[in-house]
Structure 1
Amino acid sequence: MLLTSGSRGDVEPFAALARRASAHGHEVRLGLPENSGVDVAGLDAVTLDVDFHRLIQTHGISQWTAVRHFRTEVGPGMRRMLAAAVRETLAFRPDVVVHHPKVLTAPAVADALGAPHVLAEFVPVVTPTREFPAPGVVNRDLGRLNRATYSVARAAERMFRRDMERACAQLPGGRAPSPASPPRATLEAISPHLLPRPADWPESVHLTGAWHEDSAAQEPDPAVAEFVRGGPYLVASFGSMAAGNPHARGRTVVESARAHGLRTLLLTGWGGLALPENLRDDDVLALPTAPLDAVLPGAALAVHHGGAGTVHTVARAGVPSVVVPFIADQPFWGRQLHRLGLAPAPVPYRKLTQATLVPAMGEAMACRERAAGVGRAVRDEDGLGSALEVLTGL
């Protein structure tokens, strides 16, 4: 049983693992949010009764907005998701439960079924280390205090304790075994070329490499294919991020690209970017989405929000980045890419102007040789194979 929750970047890797495991003869069921935008054709997939796309479209990405709407939207959504995870896992009765950190009821239902549970992280927010603070909690190194920052993730369990108890009323005996067992293993679906393994992670933590399907690369539609053949271009995408003024950000990206003689493939995503009407021309193509694996390899650079999935996709393509972080782990990845020589220092989205983006683009293009080398190394990884080897060895 695979259980995930969050935006598209949280769902695509689980879908990839489901396909790989199914191809190797395993019976797999995937529990995922509604309207994720991920192709799950051919998979045994069930809904977890929450729509993160709707939450972001309605309330944006602001943490304070989320707090204000906790009672009306966020809280009820999490409550439904936690209960659905228990219901669907009980119905499937799996031998192993693999779950995203947000699926807080997964350990309890696995314990009730006598099955091991495995935690899967795309950002190491739960697994502590002294080498860096918990991504999304603190944005600077605290030295010996870094490990303490990982306690913040455990606060979610306290916040949703009553909802977890309600969800676990479905279990035999009407309650969860207490305390829940620790994960049998933790899968860090992260490239060691982007985040070297911390020395103090225990042996049960496996740095597998990113979960990516080579066979999943789609061909772009003819208009996109024609555009990417038409001369030097960049790709801009902020994924599921939607905050502030998307037209102003679109203008900044397009005009900064023109300052470098680049055309712009503008992927508007869930509303983070938009193209002002007076900037429409042959050197700009704006559309909601395009297969990144198909359009990135020929790009001069990528301007993106720094989500874990996008970071790995851009790195795999061998393309340098300009990271414009919005929230959560994105500043962490922006700093990490800069540290590795794959990007300039990140440009926070509130500071995104031509004055900041034009020089950042110039710095990014100076990273092309380094990015190409890392891309070759990342493409050689088989994160799905490594993950499946751990799971079948439990």
Structure 2
Amino acid sequence: MTRLVVIVAPGSRGDVQPCIALGRGLDGDRVRVLAAERFRELVTGYGLEFAPLSADPGEILGSDGGREWTEGGRTPATFLRGLRGALAPVLERLLADVQRGAAGADLVLAPTLGFLGAHLGASLGVPDVELHYQPSVPTRMFAHPLLPWAARLGPCGRRLSFRAVDTVAWQVLRPEVDRWRDRSLDLPPAGWCGPRRKETPVLCGFSDAVVPRPKDWPVRVHVTGYWFLDPPVAWRPDPRLRDFLASGPPPVYVGFGSMRPSEAERTFAAVRTALRGLGLRGLLATDAESDDEDLLTIQDVPHAWLFPRTAAVVHHGGAGTTAAALRAGVPSLVCPVFSDQPYWGDRVSRLGAGPRPLPLRELTADALTARLLELSGNLLFRREAQYVAARLREEDGVARAREVLLTVS
């Protein structure tokens, strides 16, 4: 019997694309993706059902609350308070959208945000599966990506760091979510401890080649490999981009995804200065125009197609962009802003696929010039990036995830 699998994807494009790839791989199931309205064509273009979420991550990050969230303090408590401030205006509508979009589901796949999958599964009487885009299951091997300093606290402290982040995150969202459970889902409030999660399967959409699986993770946690989404067969690059790539040596790509620097003009001026000073061609992902002969501004170009055609990638360290750069086998410099981005920057550096991260708030022409000199002058970065890419090409994360989901009932 055909199942209706509902995938909740409330984040940016880097969160939505893996969900589409995962959904396409669920042969024999109907798949409905819940995402912001601007991703409707992207989802339906791959043959999946779509239901809209009124919370658009791009608009949230561009709002005053969103900028306060991304550019505020660097502690987890500040990050989570900022999350509440950014979501507060839309959270009630978002929860209603999620409930409406999940109607009729036989299986719910959702990220850990507010434990949405657990609430929906309990209300509908169906199983749920957690989707993790970064390591979020307690372990003694390393600290939570939001609490890197906890690594100094020893095995017990590292494990407790995950509990601490989960507890604070739940308390931040608990009032609205408990009200939603009571008024809309016909469930009692989850209370201080939140919903019970002991037996819920977890799909980790990242690779063991990038984050080695801790030995103390339970068997319910599956590190499947990345869920890569290749461009549609009919997709073609803009002639300007095609001609630019053909007119000289591979360029350096610079883009910060959904992150919007508060001083964007200053940041991109520093990028131009650094590239020009080193005689490097560049691709700059921005809405602004440029008349530089060796710099082309671009917007929506699939990373899977573009990154293998570049000399190096400078990016914000989102999980999806990091994965795409590693898969392309090109060295990368991560310029993190917040959340798990510093963690991914550290992983790239530790894998030898790029230099140490350069926080976006510290990006100047001089600082970027020094890092680009490392990228272009250290051949070991490219060698290690290609080694990781070879390992990623051996994996099929979607197929592995499908195998796991076939056992969930």
SS state at 1:45 partner: strand
Measured in 2, the distance between the counterparts of 1:229 and 1:255 equals: 23
Which position in structure 1 is the counterpart of 2:60? 55
Give 1:103-182 correspondences, 5 Å limit: 103-125=114-136, 127-139=137-149, 141-142=151-152, 143-144=154-155, 145-150=157-162, 151-169=164-182, 173=186, 175=188, 180-182=195-197
Which position in structure 2 is the counterpart of 1:293? 304
* Aligned 8 A contact 2:114 2:173 in 1: no
Residues 68 and 122 of structure 1, relative CA distance in 2, 3 Å threshold: closer
> Match of 1:2, as an amino acid?
I
Equivalent residue in structure 2 for 1:267, among 285, 305, 308:
285
Check if 1:383 corresponds to 2:397: yes
> Match of 1:33, as an amino acid?
A
Check if 1:209 corresponds to 2:222: no
* Aligned 8 A contact 1:268 1:289 in 2: no
TM-score if structure 1 supplies the norm length? 0.89
* Aligned 8 A contact 2:231 2:305 in 1: no
**For each residue in 1:136-160, what CA deviation from the matched residue of structure 2 results, as whole angstroms up to 9, or x when unmatched?**
2335622321112212123222222
Which position in structure 1 is the counterpart of 2:386? 372
Measured in 2, the distance between the counterparts of 1:239 and 1:105 equals: 25
SS state at 1:201 partner: coil
* Aligned 8 A contact 1:137 1:328 in 2: no
Measured in 2, the distance between the counterparts of 1:32 and 1:103 equals: 16
Shift of 1:297: 0.6
Specify every segment of 5 or more residues in structure 2 that has no aligned partner in the other structure, as ranges: 1-5, 74-78
Shift of 1:172: 6.3
> Match of 2:279, as an amino acid?
G
Shift of 1:12: 1.2
Which position in structure 2 is the counterpart of 1:198? 214
Residues 139 and 353 of structure 1, relative CA distance in 2, 3 Å threshold: farther
Measured in 1, the distance between the counterparts of 2:175 and 2:150 equals: 33
| Identical columns (%) | 33
Measured in 1, the distance between the counterparts of 2:35 and 2:188 equals: 24
Residues 341 and 297 of structure 1, relative CA distance in 2, 3 Å threshold: same
TM-score if structure 2 supplies the norm length? 0.86
Measured in 1, the distance between the counterparts of 2:24 and 2:170 equals: 30
Give 1:196-345 correspondences, 5 Å limit: 196-214=212-230, 216=232, 218-232=235-249, 233-268=251-286, 274=288, 280-345=291-356
Measured in 2, the distance between the counterparts of 1:211 and 1:38 equals: 19
Measured in 1, the distance between the counterparts of 2:398 and 2:83 equals: 37
Give 1:68-83 correspondences, 5 Å limit: 74-83=87-96
Measured in 2, the distance between the counterparts of 1:249 and 1:38 equals: 31
Measured in 1, the distance between the counterparts of 2:236 and 2:284 equals: 17
Check if 1:188 corresponds to 2:178: no
Which position in structure 2 is the counterpart of 1:85? 98
Which position in structure 1 is the counterpart of 2:76? none
Shift of 1:243: 2.5
Residues 252 and 25 of structure 1, relative CA distance in 2, 3 Å threshold: same
Specify every segment of 5 or more residues in structure 1 that has no aligned partner in the other structure, as ranges: none
Measured in 2, the distance between the counterparts of 1:301 and 1:341 equals: 14
Residues 37 and 290 of structure 1, relative CA distance in 2, 3 Å threshold: farther
- Give the root-mean-square deviation of aligned CA atoms: 2.4
* Aligned 8 A contact 1:86 1:168 in 2: no
